[in-house]
């Protein structure tokens, strides 16, 4: 046994800027539309819930946006994050491919999500905001924002989907520990919540309902804004610290990736690791393949349509040009809760439409098998979301073996799975299954969509 290799950067190498791919994309993304007027969204449409700096970042074409010192100082608690060469995993797969992974599980909340939560809390604080609301499913995003708010002395109110609130209490306790108030959604604090409870007092809730509650609370409370953990351009932007660090770390090894792989929910960690490398494709003639991996039970990238759709189930958000299965699509309940989202960010959607990135869908049993192989060689038990990337890494490593090619693969280890042991428990108990969706199940929400195609 020779241990896998850890490649570290010093604090001074932490990126100074976020990388904004909107400066370099061959085709710009289409503008989001105001559903009332069907005209492009104006900044004033968003000021009730977002600070001006984030609204600016949403549409900025500047290639580099400086990371504020206050944000970099908090990043230094866990960044630069380590890059590993997965030597033991390579041996197990008996592949000629070199496999590297960027480990984002070292953050306080255990995933990449604090990279944007810290920045969002800071920009809100700078503009005099006193508190933030948000929603959370299994709790990854809620815990990241709770931690970030505490760093800047902001109040944090998290609407947590009722069924997760009851079944997964540990993430809730984590949020409470960082000072956040966690409310089971639907709740009687908002009109949206009260309406649902009237119809069904025992409603298990959904992410869509929780978003509606958090947005309503922010829009109607003075000094309170709303924060989103994926999908929006500014969220993807903040995650680019991941790829920028990986570029420096790989330089130290002399390798450059042929393939980059990341799990895909709304696109933030995928964007974070791939966008800084895509700049080499756009500007320096490189040809890195970037593969987004989604669950076969929620295949918006591989089976969805590129069209305008709402970001939430209730239809409160602007219309976003994206690959979607329809905002009323309800995916089967798999354990990778962070990937159960009907749509995808506008920038990633445009890149996919232009064939500048690729997508792949994987069933959950293949994912858990992959995650267990990885844990047994590399030691880290990864989040169910992350197992999707590892399953794709195995597919590519096997292809390299058949072709006899010396490929370099980099993947984003988006988070650890130490709060998801019940998922592994269900896998070992044989309770997990694959989900083959019929065309009826896949396309019924899309059929109901009256919104325009994005062309």
Give me the residues that bind ligand PLP (CB under 6 A), please: 111, 113, 140, 230, 263-270, 338-339, 383, 385-386, 414-415
Q: How far apart are the first and last CA of the chain?
A: 54
Q: Detail the DSSP E strand segments found in 87-130.
A: 98-103
Q: Which helix (H) or strand (E) holds 125?
A: helix 114-126
235 vs 394, beta carbon nearer ligand PLP? 235
DSSP lists the bridge partners of residue 133 as: 157, 226
135 vs 385, beta carbon nearer ligand PLP? 385
User: Residue 63, class by beta-carbon neighbours within 10 Å (0-12 exposed, 13-18 middle, 19+ buried)?
Assistant: middle
Please provide the size of the chain in residues. Answer: 455
325 vs 400, beta carbon nearer ligand PLP? 325
154 vs 383, beta carbon nearer ligand PLP? 383
112 vs 162, beta carbon nearer ligand PLP? 112
DSSP 32: P
Q: What is the CA radius of gyration of the chain?
A: 21
| Min CB(334)–ligand PLP separation in Å | 13
| Min CB(405)–ligand PLP separation in Å | 28
| Min CB(111)–ligand PLP separation in Å | 4
DSSP 340: -
| Min CB(445)–ligand PLP separation in Å | 20
Task: Quote the tokens at residue 417.
Answer: 């799975």
Non-local CB neighbours of 449 within 8 Å, separated by 6+ positions:
307, 309, 324, 326, 327
| Min CB(285)–ligand PLP separation in Å | 28
Please give the Cα distance from 89 to 432 (Å, whole number).
24
C-alpha neighbours within 13 Å on the C-beta side of residue 404: 0
| Min CB(174)–ligand PLP separation in Å | 13
Non-local CB neighbours of 76 within 8 Å, separated by 6+ positions:
11, 14
Phi, psi angles (nearest 5°) of residue 19 = -100, 125
245 vs 385, beta carbon nearer ligand PLP? 385
205 vs 415, beta carbon nearer ligand PLP? 415
134 vs 414, beta carbon nearer ligand PLP? 414
4 vs 269, beta carbon nearer ligand PLP? 269
Please give the Cα distance from 323 to 342 (Å, whole number).
9
Non-local CB neighbours of 340 within 8 Å, separated by 6+ positions:
137, 207, 265, 295, 297, 298, 331, 333, 334
- Report the 10 Å Cβ neighbour count for 253: 14
- Do residues 118 and 71 lie in contact, with contact meaning Cβ atoms separated by under 8 Å? yes
Task: Quote the tokens at residue 231.
Answer: 């999908």
| Min CB(402)–ligand PLP separation in Å | 29
135 vs 407, beta carbon nearer ligand PLP? 135
| Min CB(245)–ligand PLP separation in Å | 16
Closest CA to 119 of 243, 235, 231, 276: 235
| Min CB(276)–ligand PLP separation in Å | 15
103 vs 264, beta carbon nearer ligand PLP? 264
| Min CB(338)–ligand PLP separation in Å | 3
Please give the Cα distance from 308 to 454 (Å, whole number).
6
Please give the Cα distance from 29 to 78 (Å, whole number).
33
| Min CB(441)–ligand PLP separation in Å | 22
């Amino acid at each position: 046994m020779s241990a896998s290799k850890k490649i570290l950067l010093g604090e001074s190498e932490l990126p100074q800027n976020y990388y904004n791919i909107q400066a370099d994309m061959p085709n710009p993304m289409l503008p989001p539309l105001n559903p009332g007027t069907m005209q492009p969204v104006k900044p004033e449409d968003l000021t009730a819930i977002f600070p001006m700096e984030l609204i600016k970042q949403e549409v900025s074409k500047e290639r580099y946006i400086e990371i504020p010192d206050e944000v970099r100082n908090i990043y230094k608690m866990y960044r630069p994050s380590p890059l590993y060469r997965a030597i033991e995993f390579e041996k197990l797969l008996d592949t000629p491919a070199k496999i590297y992974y960027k480990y984002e599980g070292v953050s306080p909340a255990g995933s990449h999500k604090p990279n944007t939560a810290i920045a969002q809390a800071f920009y809100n604080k700078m503009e005099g905001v006193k508190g933030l609301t948000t929603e959370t499913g299994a709790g990854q995003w809620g815990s990241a924002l709770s931690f970030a708010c505490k760093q800047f002395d902001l109040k944090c109110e998290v609407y947590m989907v009722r069924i997760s609130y009851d079944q997964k209490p540990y993430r809730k306790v984590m949020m409470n520990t960082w000072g956040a108030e966690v409310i089971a959604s639907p709740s009687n604090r908002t009109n949206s919540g009260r309406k649902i409870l009237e119809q069904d007092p025992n409603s298990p809730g959904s992410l869509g309902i929780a978003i509606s509650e958090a947005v309503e609370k922010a829009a109607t409370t003075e000094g309170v804004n709303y924060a989103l953990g994926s999908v929006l351009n500014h969220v993807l932007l903040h995650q680019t610290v991941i790829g920028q660090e990986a570029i420096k770390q790989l330089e130290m090894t002399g390798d450059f990736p042929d393939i980059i792989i990341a799990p895909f929910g709304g696109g933030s960690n995928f964007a974070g690791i791939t966008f800084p490398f895509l700049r080499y494709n756009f500007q320096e003639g490189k040809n890195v393949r970037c593969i987004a991996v989604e669950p076969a039970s929620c295949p918006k990238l591989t089976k969805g349509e590129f069209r305008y759709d709402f970001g939430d189930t209730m239809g409160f958000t602007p219309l976003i040009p994206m690959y979607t299965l329809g905002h009323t699509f309800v995916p089967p309940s798999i354990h990778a809760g962070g990937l159960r989202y009907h749509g995808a960010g506008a920038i990633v959607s445009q890149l996919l439409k232009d064939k500048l990135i690729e997508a792949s869908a994987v069933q959950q049993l293949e994912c858990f098998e992959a995650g267990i192989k990885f844990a047994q060689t590399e030691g880290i038990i990864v989040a169910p979301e992350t197992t999707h990337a590892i399953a794709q890494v195995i597919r590519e490593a096997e292809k390299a073996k058949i072709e006899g090619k010396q490929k370099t693969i980099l993947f984003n280890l988006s988070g650890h799975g130490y709060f998801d042991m019940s998922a592994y428990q269900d896998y070992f108990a044989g309770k997990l299954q694959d989900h083959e969706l019929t065309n009826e199940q896949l396309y019924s929400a899309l059929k109901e969509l009256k919104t325009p195609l994005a062309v």
